[in-house]
Amino acid sequence: MSLISFLKNVGEKLFGASEVQAATPDVLQKELAKHALSAEGLTITVDGDKVTVAGKAKSTEEAEKIVLALGNTVGVASVDNQLEVDKPAPEAAMYTVQKGDTLWKIAETHYGKGHGAKYTAIFEANKPLLSHPDKIYPGQVLRIPPLN
C-alpha cells in the first residue's frame, strides 16, 4: 500500500476531468473496465486530484496496473493504493517517462547497458495500458518489472 505520484496534466482525458480535478469514481471505473482490470470489492474515491483505490486484486501485477490506469488520466496527481493482493509478488519499479525516452532506453537504464532488448518485458508488463511499444509519452508512469 502506497501513495504514487503522477503528473496531473498528462494522460487519458476522461469525461468530467480537468487539470484541477480527477474524473468521478464512475468514470474511473469505466476506464478500468476498458482495460479489463478489476478487483474484488473495488472502491474508488476521489478527493480533488487524489484518488484512493481499495479492494482485493488477484496479483501484485493486477494491483499495479489498476493504479496506473487510474493515475495516467488527466486530473490525477496521486493514487493512494489500498488494494490487498491474493498472490503477493515483488513490486515493480515505477518510472515516469521523460522527453526523448524509448522503451529500449528505459530498459538500458533499469536493466543495464546492453539489455535494451529487454524493452519487451516492460511493454508486456504494461499491457493492456500500452497498445504499442512506440506509444509512450512524457509524464506517463510505467511499471518496470524485475528481471527473472
Single pTM value for the model: 0.93
Residue 49: what residue type? D
Kindly report which listed range (15-19, 41-45, 118-122) carries the lowest average pLDDT score. 15-19
| Residue 133: cis peptide before it, omega within 30 degrees of 0 | no
Residues in Cβ contact with 121 at an 8 Å cutoff, skipping those fewer than 6 apart = 107, 145, 147
CB 145 within 8 A of CB 111: no
The residue-averaged pLDDT of 24-51 equals 97
Report d(CA 121, CA 75) in Å as an integer.
29
Quote the crossing angle between the two packed helices 25-34 and 60-71, to the nearest 10°: 120
Provide the mean pLDDT of the chain. 95
Q: Which domains, and CATH codes, for the chain?
A: 2-87 (no CATH), 93-144 (3.10.350.10)
